[in-house]
Structures are given as C-alpha cells and as structure tokens.
Structure 1
Amino acid sequence: MEEKLGKEEIGVVKKTPSPYDLNSNDNPGNLITQVQLKGENYDEWSKAIRTSLRARRKWGFVEGTIEQPKEGSSNLEDWWTVQSMLVSWVLNTIEPSLRSTISY
C-alpha cells in the first residue's frame, strides 16, 4: 500500500518560449544596450546588439534563420510585429547623426 506524506503533486506546464513572444516590458523605445554606434566602434556595438538579441531569442530574425512566413500564414503578423520592434531597438542604439543616413 502506498503511503502519502501530505505532499500533493502539482502539475507544472512549462511553455517553450517562442521567438515571436514579446513581453509587456518590450516596447519600441527600449534601449537594449548601452553601447551606442558612433561609426568607429562597430565591433563593440555589433557584439552588444547580438548578445542582447540572443538573450531575447530574437537574433534569428536578424541572421535570417527565422524567415518571413508565407502570405496568409498565421505567424505573418507576429513576424512583422517583431521585425518592427527590432528595427526600433537597433535604431535606438545608433548615434542620431548616423541614424539619419540609414535606410531601412
């Protein structure tokens, strides 16, 4: 006979984070790194951006491993939302005089 010791098993459901997930703290005004691109510091800036986006599971959008879904896909709107957020985040880390020269 099995004896219970007063402990109940609680089922825990762990959701695997999706790269499309954005949380309530994510907004277009976020500064995702303190390193600002000034031109001569590209290597430092690119490492900081890459690290920050990897920590947020968003680097795949930049490097192309998370491709744009086909027209009509249920993920297409989410993909565009994340893309727009990424553009904002990256632009926020570029010195204003350089930012005005960038086409996106």
Structure 2
Amino acid sequence: MVERDSSGLVELRRGVLVLAVLSRLQVPQYGYSLKQALAEGGMPVEEGTLYPLLRRLEAQGLLASEWDEDYAPPRRYYRLSREGKRAFAALSAAWRDQVRVMDGFLREETK
C-alpha cells in the first residue's frame, strides 16, 4: 500500500501544481484567495510553496501582478499574462493527453 506522503505522490502533486494555479487564475486573485480556491478544489497548498511559485511564474512571464492599496494590508493580485494564457492552454491539452494515456495503462492493469 502507498502512503499518502510517499515521494511518488509528492512528485505527482508538484507536477500538477502549476497547472492548478494557472487554472485558478482565470480571474485575478491575491495570494490568500488563491490558496483558498485551491484548497476548496481539493488541492491545499502551503504558503511557503505557493508564494515562491507565484514569483517564479511571474518571473517566467506567465503571470502579471499589481498591488491593490485599498486594503490594509495591501493585496497583490495575480492574473495570467498573454503568455500565461497560452501556457495554460498548452498545459491543459498536454494534461488531457496524459490522462488518456494513463487511463489506458491503468485499465490494462485491472485486466
């Protein structure tokens, strides 16, 4: 039996986190609202994982951000850039292809 915290599950989760984040940023969100949206969707993520990922995605040009000073403390809102929208579409298609492949493998295993 595989433990929930085995390295294989950690690696699988790490691999899909970028796609999950991009999917939730179809509408602009600040960090905490994004963290909540991911958790509500079944993918809780620690702040120590999420915020460095957001900075990395922004550095790669996939996200844009802006500060909203109307809140105390101010909130940094993230949104997909044009390149981020293209990356999301490409990753979504690749994900669906991989799901089809893996479904085939897993069906073979149950025979």
Asked whether the two chains share a fold, i.e. TM above 0.5, the reply is: no
Higher relative contact order (CA 8 A, sep 6+): 1
TM-score (norm 1): 0.31
More strand per residue: 2
| Structure richer in helix, relative to its length | 2
- Computing the radius of gyration from Cα coordinates, the structure with the larger value is 1
TM-score between the two structures when normalised by the length of structure 2? 0.30
